[in-house]
Amino acid sequence: MSPPPVLSTVFASVIAPIGVLVVDDQLAVREGLARLIACAPMALRYVSTAATGAEALSAAARLHPDVVVLDVDLAGEDGLALIPQLALTAGVLVLTSHGDPLTRARATRLGARAFIEKHQPAADLLGSIAAICRLPARGEGEEAPSRPGTSSPLPMTPFSDVQAPRPY
């Protein structure tokens, strides 16, 4: 019989429950991300979704999320163009298949606080969400991270059989 899973405390430093808005034009991706975030070991006020730029701006104005997970390409619409408006009240995490340096630089210049490629582990996404909630907003006395979205992978609760507890 395997030992019980070792629960990670990596998200414990996020003090207050957070609101997350996931913006992606692909239903399966949008719902999958929302479920992943909802199951993460962090305190949440809500996880909401939007498929278009207009839906995202409307939801952000209504819900006041702490973090917006934003896709670059919203069915031909430029998702990055939403960053300046969304970043006024939320930390924006860009999640994309377009991980080229120019897209990353543009996202950062527009105010994104993190940049994750869709092929990266779920732990990177969840760790970046937690990091955004721990960081002061830009202009509140601290500089933005030198390499947004490039935090080291953070451990998640293991779901597979584990031989021995991992040192987290």
Tens of pLDDT, residue by residue over 140-162, are 444 433 333 433 333 333 333 33
Over residues 49-101, the pLDDT tens digits come to 999 999 999 999 999 999 999 999 999 999 999 999 999 999 999 998 877 89
Instruction: Spell out the residues 6+ positions from residue 50 whose beta carbon is closer than 8 angstroms to its own.
Output: 21, 22, 23, 30, 56, 58, 59
Q: Residue 15: pLDDT band by 50, 70, 90 thresholds?
A: low
In degrees, rounded to 5, the angle at the alpha carbon of residue 40 between the alpha carbons of residues 17 and 108 is: 75
What's the pLDDT tens digit per position in 48-59? 999 999 999 999
Rounded Cα distance, 80 and 96, in Å:
10
> pTM (2 decimals)?
0.73
130 confidence band (pLDDT: 50, 70, 90):
very high
Q: What CATH code is assigned to 18-134?
A: 3.40.50.2300
Rounded to 10 degrees, the C-alpha dihedral 65/67/73/74 comes to -20
What is the pLDDT, as a whole number, of residue 159?
33
